[in-house]
């Protein structure tokens, strides 16, 4: 009884701090765009949006298999995951340098891209330590780390940008702050569990790289789908259209946040349920969380229809009244993405990665060849329509795969119970 009470308290602490930390982390991203738009203008905001969104894509290379795979894959040592993460972080930064040469048509854009890629690289490395900490049921430490980084980063960014009106210098200050917290707070918490980690080896290192390739592909493709419209605007649009789209798409972050709230605290539990062959309980958690996301999405649509545009205009000091329909479409697309993320993580836990990869690859190819036409047709509106459609198709197909897999697992569990009772 006492053990159960302690576990419940720890789960509550994990849930609350994950909520606070994830919220701070996402809100910080919103604040960066708000600050740059207000202090430095739409043109600089467009450059910032390009650098920041590209860094958010490249972090997928650094995280590679991600935390879900690290937590659910018990046969590999965390030491091997850490070694892989060091390797993938270096590869990410090398690719960032190549991108800087290809797309950095100005010095400002080049420095901004490399700086934010550096910030995201540090975040990616911290995430593998977070995996070790979360396995030891201390997700609250992770939430506290994210909260500390968010508050410190946005504070120093605002301070530097207000005084010097220099986005590059403000961005570099965020890089330094993240490095300090990683080597201080994060390392201190990771060190508590370092001695429990068994040593890795070359075979495990290579096995993670090989077996995790589909998970990496899934993460990369899902992130591409979210950012495909931004790439299309960057190719055939202008910095002002990029900034407007960046503002319109920002409310989608709130839905992504809710998805993280409902996924992260349950990762270890879902992994254990799958290992224990309790498919019905696994399915029940997914259905419950999907229902919550739909309800939150409905509330989001109502808020957008009533007060969404005035709030965004007040925050960004930019006229947006003509984009009310686009904002509703963004919320609908964001609901689909949040539920898609839930199903995606469930399939990773169930090791159904190959079929999920093929599904997203097909969607990604179609989106890649059609994105330019959408933006040519409707500029920001076309980009938003593309976002909504691609998110709907993604949740529909991945949801169908998840449902089929769970139905099969449930039948196997029932047959197993029936056979045991017969014996």
Instruction: Say what the pLDDT of residue 50 is.
Output: 83
Decide which of 379 and 363 is more confident: 363
**Would you say residue 109 lies in a domain?**
yes
The one-character DSSP state at 104 is: -
**Would you say residue 8 lies in a domain?**
yes
Is residue 174 domain-shared with residue 249, that is, in the same domain?
Answer: no
Average pLDDT over residues 31-45: 84
Cα–chain center distance at 224:
12
Is residue 333 domain-shared with residue 198, that is, in the same domain?
Answer: no
Is residue 82 domain-shared with residue 44, that is, in the same domain?
Answer: yes
**Would you say residue 229 lies in a domain?**
no
CB proximity list for 332: less than 8 A, separation 6 or greater: 297, 301, 388, 392
Is residue 93 domain-shared with residue 161, that is, in the same domain?
Answer: yes
Return the percentage of the chain with pLDDT > 70, whole number.
Answer: 93
Instruction: Say what the pLDDT of residue 181 is.
Output: 96
Is residue 283 domain-shared with residue 381, that is, in the same domain?
Answer: yes
pLDDT at 29 over 80: no
Q: Which of 211, 229, 253 is the last residue of a domain?
A: 211
Q: Which of 168, 192, 211 is the last residue of a domain?
A: 211
Is residue 176 domain-shared with residue 302, that is, in the same domain?
Answer: no
- Alpha helices (H) in 73-184, listed in sequence order: 78-103, 107-135, 139-164, 167-181
Average pLDDT over residues 331-359: 90
Average pLDDT over residues 33-61: 85
Total domain count, the chain = 2
Helix, strand and coil content of the chain, in percent to the nearest 5, comes to 90, 0, 10
Is residue 313 domain-shared with residue 193, that is, in the same domain?
Answer: no
Average pLDDT over residues 38-58: 84
Q: Which of 190, 211, 232 is the last residue of a domain?
A: 211
Q: Using one digit for the tens of pLDDT, what is the confidence trace for 143-170?
A: 999 999 999 999 999 999 999 889 999 9
**Would you say residue 386 lies in a domain?**
yes
Is residue 199 domain-shared with residue 270, that is, in the same domain?
Answer: no
**Would you say residue 218 lies in a domain?**
no
Q: Using one digit for the tens of pLDDT, what is the confidence trace for 60-89?
A: 899 998 888 888 887 888 899 999 999 999
**Would you say residue 231 lies in a domain?**
no
CB proximity list for 190: less than 8 A, separation 6 or greater: 129, 132, 133
**Would you say residue 223 lies in a domain?**
no
pLDDT confidence band for 179 (50 / 70 / 90) = very high
pLDDT at 206 over 80: yes
Is residue 350 domain-shared with residue 419, that is, in the same domain?
Answer: yes
CA distance 160 to 85: 31
Is residue 141 domain-shared with residue 287, that is, in the same domain?
Answer: no
Average pLDDT over residues 318-338: 84
pLDDT at 54 over 80: yes
Q: Using one digit for the tens of pLDDT, what is the confidence trace for 104-137?
A: 678 888 899 999 999 999 999 999 999 999 988 8
pTM of the prediction? 0.79
CA distance 229 to 33: 18
Instruction: Say what the pLDDT of residue 130 is.
Output: 94
Q: Domain residues for 274?
A: 241-423
Return the percentage of the chain with pLDDT > 90, whole number.
Answer: 36
Instruction: Say what the pLDDT of residue 423 is.
Output: 53
Q: Using one digit for the tens of pLDDT, what is the confidence trace for 278-321?
A: 888 888 888 888 898 888 888 888 887 787 778 777 777 677 77
Instruction: Say what the pLDDT of residue 234 is.
Output: 77
Instruction: Say what the pLDDT of residue 421 is.
Output: 53
Is residue 2 domain-shared with residue 146, that is, in the same domain?
Answer: yes
Is residue 104 domain-shared with residue 245, that is, in the same domain?
Answer: no
**Would you say residue 145 lies in a domain?**
yes
CB proximity list for 72: less than 8 A, separation 6 or greater: 267, 271, 274, 348, 349, 351
């Amino acid at each position: 009884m006492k053990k159960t009470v302690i576990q419940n308290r720890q789960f509550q602490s994990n849930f609350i701090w994950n909520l606070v930390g994830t919220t701070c982390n996402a809100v910080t991203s919103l604040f960066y765009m708000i600050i740059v738009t207000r202090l430095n203008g739409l043109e600089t905001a467009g450059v910032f949006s390009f650098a920041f969104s590209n860094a958010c894509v490249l972090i997928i290379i650094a995280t590679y298999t991600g935390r879900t795979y690290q937590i659910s894959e018990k046969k590999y040592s965390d030491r091997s995951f850490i070694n892989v993460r060091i390797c993938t972080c270096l590869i990410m930064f090398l690719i960032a340098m190549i991108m800087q040469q290809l797309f950095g048509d100005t010095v400002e854009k080049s420095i901004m891209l490399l700086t934010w890629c550096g910030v995201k690289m540090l975040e990616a490395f911290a995430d593998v330590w977070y995996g070790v900490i979360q396995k030891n049921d201390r997700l609250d430490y992770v939430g506290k780390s994210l909260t500390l980084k968010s508050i410190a980063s946005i504070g120093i960014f605002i301070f530097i940008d207000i005084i010097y009106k220099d986005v590059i210098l403000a961005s570099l200050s965020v890089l330094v702050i993240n490095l300090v917290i990683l080597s201080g707070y994060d390392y201190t918490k990771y060190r508590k569990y370092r001695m429990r980690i068994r040593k890795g080896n070359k075979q495990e290192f290579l096995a993670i790289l090989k077996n995790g390739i589909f998970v990496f592909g899934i993460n990369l493709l899902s992130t591409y789908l979210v950012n495909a419209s931004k790439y299309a605007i960057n190719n055939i649009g202008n910095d002002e259209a990029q900034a407007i789209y960046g503002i319109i798409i920002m409310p989608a972050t709130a839905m992504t946040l809710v998805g993280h709230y409902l996924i992260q605290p349950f990762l270890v539990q879902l992994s254990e349920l799958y290992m224990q062959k309790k498919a019905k309980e696994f399915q029940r958690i997914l259905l419950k969380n999907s229902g919550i996301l739909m309800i939150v999405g409905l509330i989001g649509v109502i808020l957008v229809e009533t007060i969404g545009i005035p709030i965004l205009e007040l925050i960004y000091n930019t006229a947006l009244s003509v984009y009310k329909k686009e904002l509703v479409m963004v919320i609908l697309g964001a609901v689909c993405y949040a539920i898609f993320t839930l199903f995606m993580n469930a399939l990773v836990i169930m090791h159904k990665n190959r079929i999920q990869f093929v599904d997203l690859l097909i969607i990604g190819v179609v989106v890649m060849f059609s994105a330019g036409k959408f933006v040519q047709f409707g500029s920001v509106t076309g980009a938003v329509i593309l976002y909504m459609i691609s998110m709907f198709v993604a949740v529909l197909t991945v949801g169908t795969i998840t449902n089929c897999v769970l139905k099969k697992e449930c039948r196997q569990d029932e047959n197993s119970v029936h056979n045991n009772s017969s014996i």
